[in-house]
Amino acid sequence: MRLIQHFIDGVEVGGVGDARQAVFDPSLGRPQAEVVLGVFEDLDEAVRSAKAAQPAWAATNPQRRARVMFEFKRLIEENMESLARLLASEHGKVVSDAKGDIQRGLDVVEFVCGVPHLLKGEFTTGAGPGIDVHSMRQPLGVVAGITPFNFPAMIPLWMLAPAIACGNAFILKPSERDPSVPVELAKLAIQAGLPAGVLNVVQGGKPVVDAILDHPDIKAVSFVGSSDIAQQVYARGAAAGKRMQCMGGAKNHGVVLPDADLDQTVADILGAAYGSAGERCMALPVVVPVGAATANALRAKLVDAIGGLRVGVSSDPDAHYGPVVSAQHKARIEEYIEMGVAEGAELVVDGRGFSLQGHEEGYFLGPTLFDHVKPGMRSYHDEIFGPVLQIVRAETAQEAVALASEHQYGNGVAIFTRNGDAAREFAEQVEVGMVGINVPIPVPVSYHTFGGWKRSGFGDLNQYGMDGIRFYTRTKTITSRWPKGGAVTDQSFVIPTMK
């Protein structure tokens, strides 16, 4: 059986720990590989490698670092098909969606190819008599990223690309559920010219996470996962003096105003709710139609459209989505469906019991639709992270805004309308970090920045864009004076001013 190892100092290694964990094929429900589970010593070896390699990499001029990132981008594009198929086989998402996963990460690699410009500081000449002031951005040193199962290419690239381009060395701890693609990306980075040790991958579970958070030589950590864990990781890392950036869960709402184009809205909601089997932090699991007439019409169109969805294996080119990632996660989603029924929501379409011929042991769930979901229900309050769409009816647009604003999560939200004034007002008022106007999954482009509010994000800086550059660098400001002649100025015992 294939063994997935660590990638440390430019080579694959088995590490010190002897524990292994099965990596499953979600379409078949059986193991296809094993991944080594690291221990502190493995993480410490990666840190030593990174710490040794980082100074020379930081001293490499930004233009040359950019050339490595250009080549890295080219190699990923060249290997897109094989990477996507490997990703899909471990995650369960269909191959076309896996390519989108990789492409959204590639967008950030492309953005940081402009790092010579992005790292430019500021300069003020003549800030005072003979005094100039300038600033520079410098790398932090050794930094780390802890990434989830749902985007095994995109989120690692969101973290490692800006970190490395800025001159840091990076240690990645990917999900043990789909750990192969991060190792393949690290190999491509070496092939692109990245020095050994600048990018390391350490496999494992909680012991490796704890080791990252406690290691004194790791200066910053980026994390994506559930909100409860994100909060714990943020607190522990911050207490250890690290710069922290922790992204949590979501329960994104799609508000549908009476004037919306319902056919287009249904098409948008369908892909956003059920794509990747709902295993996205930017999925759209809650739709909020305003007014009974809008709700009834939307429900009817959704039921018709759901009937046309095709659930299949990850390699099926005609499938709209594939299995969920594991048997445990499938059982958890089914528990939430049962919970919604018990809480009094109307189960309009039940996705439980779905079976695919020849893949009866796969982790498949059909699309599920609830109506008359209420804000007090736990199934509404919690993130389900599966192919489950909930209709929460609102009487007014103000009530719809309040639903999204008052939820514990504030990651993304969308509004569907033809009214520009209503959309503009909604965008200004709603208390959510990322807003889509007739855009169901409002993930910002790579030169903006990604991040949610409330329990969806812990830390002051978001991912990628200029916030990514800021997170992986620190600013140094230099005030210099070159006096004319040899005259000595009088001593001063007060704070300097430019008066």
- Which residue numbers are catalytic? 281
Q: How far apart are CA 291 and CA 277, in angstroms?
A: 29
Using the CB atoms, write b or e for 319-349: b if 16+ within 10 Å: bbbbbbbbeebbeebbebbeebeeeebeebb
Q: How far is CA 51 from CA 198, 426, 491, in A?
A: 8, 47, 43
Helices (H), 240-309: 262-274, 292-306
Contact 42, 28 (CB under 8 A): no
Tell me the torsion sign for CA atoms 107, 110, 116, 117. negative
Query: Is residue 162 a contact partner of residue 469, using CB atoms and an 8 Å limit?
Result: yes
Strand segments (E) across 386-459? 388-391, 409-410, 412-416, 434-437, 453-454, 457-458
Residues sharing a CB contact under 8 Å with residue 366, sequence separation 6 or more, in sequence order? 309, 311, 349, 350, 351, 352, 353, 354, 387
**What are the two backbone dihedrals, phi and then psi, of residue 447, each rounded to the nearest 5 degrees?**
-95, 5
